[in-house]
Amino acid sequence: MTKAELNEETEQAGVEDRKPDPDRTDRVLISVGLVLAAFAAFFPWYVFLNQDQFGVRPYTLSSERDLPGIAGRSVVSVSPLAIPDSGDSDEFDFDSITTATITLDGNEGDNEADPEEGPAQAFPGYKPVFRLLHVVNGRALIEDGNGVYMVRVGSILPDDSRLATLEQRDGRWVIVTSDGDVIER
């Protein structure tokens, strides 16, 4: 069967060759590309010329201590700092927060403690337990119940002591704390 005979048969059957027009597809893609290119070229200029629509608005700070004027709840607990000043500052001029008492000359007499000496009793609670995982380049990796930490000499350890030294004893690395505890790997 030749090509001419095949074409005659398809025409007789009413079947036409329908292929998409490649020129039309190319024109659509070129048009879309040109529109995107124009948008990419002109949008930055639009933003530059209309900065008030696109800029970051600065937050203005105020020195007022008043609460915003919104409808309150039936029970409101107002902080003393939110109460407006009355302007009378000569009534009381003292700090009402209880702190410590010292003498005028700074001498505590018989109750004076040696600043070099720490507290005579242990702090309450349990002493956290941690273990040494790895030592390299003067730093140690330790682990406790809250996570893994990298420490070096002078760092505060989970038991509130400081890392005094990193030593290698009998081929094994150990941590010596400021409390004198030795933690082995």
pLDDT digits (tens, 9 = 90+) for 6-56: 666 666 655 455 666 778 899 999 999 999 999 999 999 998 888 888 777
Within a domain: 125: no
Query: b/e map of 50-84 (b: 16 or more CB within 10 Å)?
Result: eeeeeeeeeeeeeeeeeeeeeeeeeeeeeeeeeee
Give the end of a domain, one of 7, 38, 53: 53
Within a domain: 90: no
pLDDT above 90 as % of the chain: 23
If you average pLDDT over every residue of the chain, what do you get?
Answer: 77
Per the document, the length of the chain is: 185
User: What are the backbone dihedrals phi and psi of residue 157, each rounded to the nearest 5 degrees, phi first?
Assistant: -95, 165
Within a domain: 119: no
Within a domain: 106: no
Q: Find the domain containing 171 and state its range.
A: 131-184
Within a domain: 163: yes
Within a domain: 58: no
| E strands, the chain, in order | 131-136, 139-144, 147-152, 163-169, 172-177, 182-184
Evaluate whether 152 touches 139 at the Cβ level (below 8 Å): yes
pLDDT of the residue at 122:
60
Within a domain: 41: yes
**Is pLDDT of 170 > 70?**
yes
Question: Rounded to an integer, what distance in angstroms lies between the CA atom of residue 141 and that of residue 144?
Answer: 10
Domain count, the chain: 2
Give the end of a domain, one of 35, 53, 71: 53
Within a domain: 70: no
pLDDT band per the 50, 70, 90 thresholds, residue 60: confident
